[in-house]
Each structure stands twice: as C-alpha cells, then as structure tokens.
Amino acid sequence: MDNKKIITDSGIEIKQLYCEPVPMTEKPGEFPFTRGVHAAMYRDRLWTMRQYAGFSTAEESNKRYHYLLSQGVMGLSVAFDLPTQIGYDSDHAMAEGEVGKVGVAIDSLEDMELLFKGIKLQDISTSMTINATAFILLSLYIALAKKQGADIKKISGTIQNDILKEYAARGTYIYPPGPSMRLITDIFEYCSKEVPKWNTISISGYHIREAGSDAVQELAFTLANGKAYLQAAIRKGLDINVFAPRLSFFFNAHNDLFEEVAKFRAARRMWAQITSSLGATDPKAQMLRFHTQTGGSTLTAQQPKNNIVRVTLQALSAVLGGTQSLHTNGYDEALSLPTEEAATIALRSQQIIAYESGATNTVDPLAGSFYVETLTNEVEAAAWKLIEKIDVMGGAVKAIEQGFIQEEIARSSYAYNKDIESGEKVIVGVNKFESKDVSDTPVLKIDDSIRQLQSEKLKALREKRDNAKAMACLDTIREKAETTENLMPAVIDAVENLCTLGEIADVLRGLWGEYRG
C-alpha cells in the first residue's frame, strides 16, 4: 500500500486512485455552467488569442500591435507603464525612471491616436490592464473611436477596472475605496447605456495569485471581490440583469494542470450561485466569462527556454477549463519585457493547442474524470469556506481594510517559497537539474530617453490646445465629483479637449485624497 501523502499548494490531499463517480446531470451552456458557458464551446468558436503588449512609446507599441495582428492575434491587450497606471503624466517628478518601462506611456488623446494608428477600433477587441485610471483610459478609447467615426455602441473590449485587488495584492491604487467604487459603478452605468458591448470590469484573480496566493485563495478572493462589485452596483440602483453580463473575470493559469482546470470549472458554478442569490435571472447575468494569462511568477530566469513548456501546459489548463480569452507569456519575461521572437513563440503555443492538439474537439473533455470532478468539488468547498469568513467580516472591502486577505496571501506565499528553498517543491532548473551554462537569451531594453520624448509631446500639446476650455473641463469634473452625477461624460469631454491623464487624476486627488493603506 502507498502511504505517500501528496497535497496541492491549496492544501487539498490527492489520493492515489479515484474510483467513485461523481453524479453529472448538467449540460454545457446550462446553469450553473460548470461545463462551460456555451453549448458547443470551441467547436463553434475558439477563445480569443491575445498577446499582452505595450512598452516604450505609443509609436513603438503600435508597431508591435501591427506585427501581432499579422501573426494571427485576434484581440489586442494593452500594458500601460506605471505612471499611467497611477495617474501621473510622463513629465511629473513621480514618473522619473518609470516612463515606458513596464508598459506604454499614455498621457493624452494624441498618444492614444498613435497607439492605435492604422487600427480600426470598431473592427477589433481591446483589453486594457488598467485600474485606478480605468475611467480615463476608457474615456480616451471612446474619444478615439468617435474620432475614427466608429459607432461606440459597437466597439468591444475590456478594462480591468478592479480596484479591490489593488488594495489587497498589487498596489496601483490612487483614491480611497469609497470614491474608487463610485468610479467603477459610474462606468457600469454609463457603458450599459452607451457602450453596451464593452466589458466594464475584469475581476482579477491573476494578480492575487502573482502576489503568492494558492488556487483556492485566488478563486475565493476574486469571487468575493466580484460579489462586492455586484452589491455596490445594486445599491446604486442598477439592474443586475443589465450590468452583470458585462462583467468578466481574469484568472491565472499556474503549474498544477488538474487543480487549475478544477478551479476554472468551480469558478463558473460558484459565480452562477452568487449572481442568482443576488437576483440575477438572465442566464447571461449568471455566466462567468473569463480571460486567462499564464503564470508570470512561475517563469524562471534560470534555463529560460524551459518556460516555453511551462507556458504551454498552463495554456492547456485554461483551454481544458473553458477560457474565453488567453494570453501566453514570453519565455524571456523573467529577464525583460518579451522580445518579438518570444511573443511569437507564445502565440504559436496557443495556435498549436487550438489547431493540432485535439483539445478543442469536444466540450469539457475532462468531464466525468473521477479525479477532476472530485477535485472540482473540493476546490469549490474550500473556496466557499473562505468566502463565508469574508462575509462574516462584512464583505471584501471590510476584509481588505482589516488586512485579512493580505495576511492570507502572505502566509501562502511564505509557505510556497519555503518549500522551494527546502527542495520539497521541485522547480526544474532552479533547485533541481540546475545547469552552470549562462543564458544567452536576448533581452528587450527600454531607453531612459523615453521620458524626455513624452515630456516634449506634453509641452507641445499644452501650447497648442485651448487651455481655457481644458481648464473649464477640469472644473466641470470637480463639480460633478461633488455630486452623485455620473462622471464619465465629463471625463470624455475633457480628454476630447486634450486634458491629460495626470490633470484629470489630480483633480480628483485634490478632492478625494490618496489612499495610504
């Protein structure tokens, strides 16, 4: 008899053998959607293949977008630099040393035009990883679409817009939780009427996992945040059957293939129960649709080409779990932003899974597996226990304010890294099967001169715009922020009159202050 004890990172014990069938009655596309949100899934339509890209200037990122589109990418996914994420123009003192480094610098509508030069916004789907300044970036995107002559009711895409996980795991917040939630629900309300095909939030477990959580914590904390957004919108008087279909999720695909598949399947079932308990009756309002990115924190600087294998297996877990959209990381991302070669290989891994592996030939191919069905149930049960704890505290916002979620993530991260250091958890090329060979992987470097280029653009913009009109737009934002009126129309008007991202963010900083954690 085998007495070896194997436990997942989430603390779930894995038996040597699974022999008990788990009853299955539901079909794909039917409540609670465990087996997928569509009856035919990938037989009808493949997931959207995205590649997350953005670096340096808008012009440089635009070149990468055109290249990726030529290679078969189905949608764009924009990475913004740190100043853009936290509401500083490139010429601000706080932006020094960070302009264009981890994403593209966007200061104004002119930058947005350069970013999407030669790309019709009505013809593509764009995902933007942006949170605290999501309302400004969405306004810039809408303004550009209007300038291109697009029908904004037909443009599609997603803004991340998930501020709660920023407080808990990532840190690119600006305003306190109350005003931040107001901005989010303003976006829900505005888009439900004016931009109905836009996904107004991508509730992100990805960054919770990158901060060190395990799979169960990622699932529980993400859904608890999602529940908080639903409740905030309902308090604002919005109809859950109208706004909930435009909510999407963003999960991490980590290394344990079967636990990740179980996590994705459990997520759909749990969200269906959460939404229906809050009054959702439309199946589209009960469905959990999600984007997946392979685990950035799993990539190793040692033997970086091993990451190609890791990324492919992680991508396979997302496909077997029923993702609607997928980004695969470049093998060199533990060293730098991905080179063009690394981005191409990452995209090819998705295409090979889609067209060569057979994984897309049937819906939910692992359904009925004694192991996968049991693991799905166990992941779900463990996640509900955490959500119940959060509910007792008063919900996700209270749990974050009390430090509960942060402490849970820190505890999990410590245990995971301790296991790597002890060798109990094997990371190939890091603590086992090491090599003394020095990697010759080329890296992408961003020049510090980018800040000077962006600063010159800003100076020229402020000289040529109608400054009286721009200042009047900023005054209007301030006035409306002191009421309960929706801020989105005023912000769109401001960016159309060439107010900058930093100027708009600063107006609200002056009114609401900054959150200090």
| pLDDT tens by residue, 152-211 | 999 999 999 999 999 999 899 999 999 999 999 999 999 999 999 999 999 999 999 999
Which helix (H) or strand (E) segment holds residue 229: the answer is: helix 215-235
pLDDT in tens, 286-345: 999 999 999 999 999 999 999 999 999 999 999 999 999 999 999 999 998 888 899 999
Q: What pLDDT is attached to residue 2? A: 62
Given a contact cutoff of 8 angstroms between Cβ atoms, the answer to whether 349 and 308 are in contact is yes
Distance of CA 308 to the CA centre of its chain: 21
Angle between helix axes 257-277 and 306-320 (nearest 10 degrees) is 40
Which helix (H) or strand (E) segment holds residue 293: the answer is: strand 290-294
Q: What pLDDT is attached to residue 20? A: 84
Please enumerate in sequence order all residues whose Cβ is within 8 A of that of 464, keeping only pairs 6 or more positions apart, or say none: none
Q: What pLDDT is attached to residue 368? A: 93
HSE at residue 168, side-chain half, CA atoms within 13 A, is: 32
**Amino acid at site 393:** M
Q: What pLDDT is attached to residue 198? A: 96
Positions in the chain short of pLDDT 50:
none
Q: What pLDDT is attached to residue 108? A: 98
- CA–CA separation, 504 and 484 (whole Å): 18
Q: What pLDDT is attached to residue 447? A: 72
- CA–CA separation, 162 and 402 (whole Å): 19
Q: In the structure, how many helices (H) and strands (E) does the chain have?
A: 20, 11
Given a contact cutoff of 8 angstroms between Cβ atoms, the answer to whether 186 and 229 are in contact is no
- CA–CA separation, 33 and 35 (whole Å): 5
| Single pTM value for the model | 0.92
Sole residue written with tokens 């505290």: 393
Tokens in use for 396?
Answer: 């996700």
Beta strands 13-14 and 290-294 are unpaired
